Structure 1
Amino acid sequence: MSSSAVQKSLVVFGGNGFLGRRICQQGIQKGYKITSMSRSGAPPKNILPSDNQWVEKVNWKKVNIFDPETYADELATSNIVVHSLGILLEGRNYKETLNSFPGSKNSSVFCKNGVSSISPYPNPMDKSIYNSYDYMNRQSALIACREFLEKTDPFSKRTFVYISADQNFVGIPHGYLDSKRKAESEILQMKQNFENFQPILMRPSFMFDETISNDFRVILKDGLSLLNYVNKNLLNDTLSSFVRPPVSTQKVARCIFDKIEEEKFDGPVLLEEILKH
């Protein structure tokens, strides 16, 4: 079999989440072998009947990322890893806040072994770490990335996609974006120690799903779109540091695969580039 006929393997941490499911869908449609890793190991809920066509083709795997033995084998045989998990708000009521909106769901994946400054290793029984920007948005990505690079062939191209953020949303603590930017910086630094490493840092703004019409995100999307129109057309972009256009999870997923397939690309992917898809 020629190398061009070999099916590429891709792992999505948080593949049953709001964005993760669309990454899995796009990967299946493009002919990738897709494995979703999550705490439940279950497919996403509240999907359309048409989604069953790709959902049944994904390998839905239950893992505890605080225990790398539960996912190390999958990483060793994968060309690409996508880290699509994290928290928008810290605090024990984060999930309850999200789930108070109709149609809202939240899923997370967690990790174990320490990386660089992670000491002592997080205790998986300590529920407070699940609501920490540093653990969930930064350290989980670094752990997954290093585990991936250490387990895979250094002579082959290894791609790690990190879902970062365009900028802070109004009302969201600065710790959210700080944790994302720190993760970006440390992932990029790994290029110094690992050959054939392609880090891709996606920076979407507020995301919505094109197929969902009764979710609270649709209301926020419409409001943000209106504000962005006013800012662009009436205020000469004076509010660009506060008002940014929303983007669909489908566009983010399509952009991810376009960047994966760009042989020479690495680094941040800005919102303006994502919106073109």
Structure 2
Amino acid sequence: MDPPSPDQLLVLGGNGFVGSHVCKEALDRGLSVSSLSRSGRPSVQAPWADKVVWHKGNLLEPASLKDAMSKVSAVISCVGGFGTNSQMYKINGTANINAIRVAAEQGVKRFAYISAADFGFVNFLLQGYYEGKRAAEAELLSKFTYGGVIIRPGFIHGTRQVGSLKVPLGLIGSPLEMLLQHAKPLNKLPVLGPLLTPPVSAASVAKVAVRAATDPVFPPGIVDVYGILRYSGQK
């Protein structure tokens, strides 16, 4: 097997809202970018999409991941979703655990996982979602002790591409971010506190994810919302 290129990045779920921002950020940094998802190339017509190598695969079928991961040095997973508790655990937990295990087997050096911040009682309401996320996090820290980074944003704002339309989710998110990033002490309150976690832009999450996956000196472990704001502001 040929050794992976040091600038070869695979984005899982690269055709989604956050994933597309990750692909664009990586391309802007001069990286070679590929993406794997169940649907493959997105329908969006944009110059950046022509520069990505698109793979079809299913994270619930580990064998379908091996080829896409065989020659990459880093992986970023943007895979997640909602549904029943069992569906949420499968999408957020089992699927990502499979990806982490295959990446480790294929010799991938670094793996960044876009998880989710705690929201207090919301965690109970979305039990399968958060249990799945935390199970995937535990697997990542086990398999990628020195090269695994967990990114935990809350609400993510930005522009979502829906077919040929661009829906600006930042109209609410941006002012909230400015307001709530100064309310950090209040988020220690048991019920209200977690809901005061500031939102972050999809571009900021993407910037931190790409850096975490490709910078060998980026510290492993968990990056919370305030870490996202701090790292994304650095050059």
Q: TM-score, normalised by structure 2?
A: 0.79
Aligned residue number for residue 204 of structure 1: 153
Q: Does 1:29 align with 2:28?
A: yes
* Aligned positions of 1:93-104 closer than 5 A: none
Q: Which runs of 5 or more structure 1 residues have no equivalent in the other structure?
A: 92-128
From 53, 75, 78, give the equivalent of 1:81. 75
Kindly tell me the number of residue pairs found equivalent between the two proteins: 219
Matched residue type, 1:189: S
Match of 1:240 in 2: 193
Structure with the largest fraction of strand: 2
How far the C-alpha of 1:71 sits from its partner, in A, is 2.9
SS of 1:19's equivalent? helix
Alignment of 1:53-92 (within 5 A): 53-87=47-81, 89-91=82-84
By how many angstroms is 1:218 displaced?
A: 3.8
Alpha carbons of structure 1 residues 177 and 66: separation in structure 2 relative to 1, 3 Å: closer
1: CA distance between counterparts of 2:15 and 2:152? 20
Alpha carbons 1:9, 1:32 under 8 Å: kept = yes
Look up the equivalent residue of 2:173 and give its one-letter code.
Answer: K
Contact 1:210–1:248 (Cα < 8 Å) also in 2: no
Report SS of the residue matched to 2:68.
helix
What displacement does 1:166 show? 1.4
Give the TM-score, by structure 1 length: 0.68
Query: How far off is 1:134 after superposition?
Result: 1.6
Post-superposition offset of 1:191: 4.3
Counterpart of 1:121? none
Higher relative contact order (CA 8 A, sep 6+): 2
Q: What does residue 118 of structure 1 align with?
A: none
Residue from 110, 114, 122 that aligns with 1:163 = 114
Q: State the alpha-carbon separation in 2 of the partners of residues 170 and 269 from structure 1.
A: 21
Give the superposition deviation at 1:44.
Answer: 5.3
Change (3 A) 1:77 1:36: same
Aligned CA-pair RMSD: 3.2
**Does the C-alpha gap of structure 1 residues 134 and 224 become closer, same or farther in structure 2, counting only changes over 3 Å?**
same
Larger Rg: 1
Counting aligned pairs with the same residue, the percent is 26
Q: Quick one: which amino acid aligns to residue 26 of structure 1?
A: E
Give the aligned residue type for 2:110.
T
How many Å apart are 1:210 and its aligned residue? 5.1
Question: Gaps spanning 5+ residues in structure 2: where?
Answer: none
Query: 1:236/1:10 Cα in 2 relative to 1: closer, same or farther (>3 Å)?
Result: closer
Distance in 2, matches of 1:222 and 1:77, equals 38
8 Å contact kept, 2:150–2:221? yes
